[in-house]
Amino acid sequence: MNTKLSIALLALAGFSLPAMAGNGNGNGNNNGNSGGSQALQTCGANDLTGGTFLACSGYLSGNLINGSAPDKLATFTALTALGQKAGHAYGGTDIWVEKKDFSGNTIDFTTPLNGLTFLGIHKGGAGEGAQGTAFYLINAGTNLDKLTYNLGGLSNAAIYKTGVSPVPEPETYALMLAGLAAVGFVAKRRKAA
């Protein structure tokens, strides 16, 4: 899939996900806590410090990290919009790799974050607006230890997947082929001499 099409699909998914929230907890059944009458904010690159921000989806109303059956569907939809493969197991009791409750601004999981990482973060109102859950795709690099959440009201967070190797860019393949060609050229010259 070309890059422009991928970006267009992500943008379209980002616009459609907040509509799922309704006035409930993101599952459309209208029985969740909407966090009052304040409007939900939109997630963005400035929400987190640590790792390289790639994309986000949300904020969706309520705490979708709690793992109830309807919330799993909303979570699956949000993560799929960010590029999480559909083959990831969402069965069983937990759909996350690790979930922790936090206060303050530091997110420190026991599991080290590596490569492409899918996260969910729930914020309570904290006087800054309605509570909600956002999902993030970041490139964590190697063994990222901590993230900083730059908004108030951090309640809990979950890792949905970490350690996903990014797909190499075409330039990477071109450089690798150029290197192999150079090695082949040198080997052929030595053999001829």
Number of domains in the chain: 1
pLDDT at 34: 39
Q: Is the residue at 96 inside a domain?
A: yes
Q: Is the residue at 190 inside a domain?
A: no
Can you give the residue range of the structural domain that contains 14?
Answer: 3-168
Q: Is the residue at 183 inside a domain?
A: no
Note the pLDDT tens digit of each residue in 58-91: 888 888 887 777 888 888 888 888 888 754 444 4
Contact, 65 vs 157, CB < 8 A? yes
Q: What are 5's two structure tokens?
A: 């099409």
pLDDT at 170: 75
Q: Is 59 left (phi over 0), alpha (psi -120 to 50) or beta?
A: beta
The HSE-up count of residue 139 (CA atoms within 13 Å, CB side) is 6
Q: Is the residue at 184 inside a domain?
A: no
Q: Is the residue at 114 inside a domain?
A: yes
Q: Is the residue at 187 inside a domain?
A: no
Note the pLDDT tens digit of each residue in 30-60: 334 433 445 678 899 999 999 999 999 988 8
Contact, 119 vs 136, CB < 8 A? yes
Q: How many residues are there in the chain?
A: 193
Q: Is the residue at 61 inside a domain?
A: yes
pLDDT at 8: 41
Q: Is the residue at 188 inside a domain?
A: no
pLDDT at 128: 59
